[in-house]
Amino acid sequence: MVYVVEMDVNIPETWSDEKLADVIAREKECSQKWQNSGKWKYLWRVAGKFSNISVLEVESPEELHQIISSLPLFPYMTIKVTSVCKHPNALRETIL
């Protein structure tokens, strides 16, 4: 199953610079672990925002939730998930 996931991050204003740096470092480590696994196919920054658009290919909605909820910034995200599949008019089998 392929999903397009839009994540908007809302960092609490009360966080210190040290806490923010720590959480961002852990977020990077976690997201790169999933990218290296092959399940997180693409990760794009949305210009001008603390947001990203990602493409993940997983076995189930439960696995998608496991991956997203493992992110340290998960509690501070607004997330939109869209399930996608190959369009019958597409020239290529897949972009992945």
> Residue 57: which domain range?
2-84
Report the predicted TM-score, pTM, of the whole model to 2 decimal places: 0.89
56 in Cβ contact with 2 (< 8 Å): yes
CATH number of the domain that residue 72 is part of: 3.30.70.1060
Split at pLDDT 50, 70, 90, the class of 94 is low
How much of the chain exceeds pLDDT 70, in percent? 96
In a domain, 20, yes or no: yes
Count of C-beta atoms within a 10 Å radius of residue 46: 12
How confident is the model over 61-85, as pLDDT tens digits?
999 999 999 999 999 999 999 999 8
